[in-house]
């Protein structure tokens, strides 16, 4: 990941609705969720949810696929790990006393069952 990609990803997450949607997709696992279900769960109008999901997809943090008439969105775990690794790779010069668990997280490919 480079600076431009990190800025695009962080910018996409810098909205309360998009962050909530992304977190829900991370929890949903690789199968993802239909956009309508996301909108319903988050109590966001479907057109606004589509706008937010498009922003997340352009950033690379989310991918979509068509399933009949529905569009299913899923978190891109590789891109998420890339962003987390980019942010933490230079953490405090590797000083564990300052960074603590961040260094462990940066060196772990994934800590949840869905990754």
Residue 95 exposed, middle or buried by CB count within 10 Å (0-12, 13-18, 19+)? exposed
Q: Which two structure tokens, joined as six digits, stand for 70?
A: 């529905």
Per domain, the residue ranges of the chain are 1-115
Q: Is the pTM of this model over 0.85?
A: no
Instruction: Kindly report, residue by residue over 2-42, the tens digit of the pLDDT.
Output: 999 999 999 999 999 999 999 999 999 999 999 999 999 99
| DSSP-based three-state secondary structure for 35 | helix
At 58, is the pLDDT very low, low, confident or very high (cuts 50, 70, 90)? very high
Strands (E) located in the chain? 33-34, 62-67, 70-75
CATH of the domain spanning 1-115: 1.10.10.10
Phi, psi of 14 (to 5 degrees): -85, 45
Instruction: Kindly report, residue by residue over 73-86, the tens digit of the pLDDT.
Output: 999 999 999 998 88
Q: If you average pLDDT over every residue of the chain, what do you get?
A: 86
Tell me the sheet residues that pair with 62.
Answer: 75
């Amino acid at each position: 990941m480079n600076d431009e990609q990190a800025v695009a990803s962080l910018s996409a997450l810098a909205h309360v609705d998009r962050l909530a949607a992304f977190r829900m997709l991370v929890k949903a696992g690789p199968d993802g969720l239909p956009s309508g279900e996301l909108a319903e769960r988050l109590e966001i109008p479907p057109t606004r949810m589509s706008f937010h999901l498009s922003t997340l997809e352009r950033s690379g943090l989310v991918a979509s696929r068509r399933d009949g008439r529905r569009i299913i969105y899923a978190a891109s775990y590789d891109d998420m790990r890339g962003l987390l690794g980019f942010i933490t790779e230079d953490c405090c010069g590797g000083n564990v006393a300052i960074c603590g668990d961040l260094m462990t997280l940066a060196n772990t490919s994934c800590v949840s069952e869905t990754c």
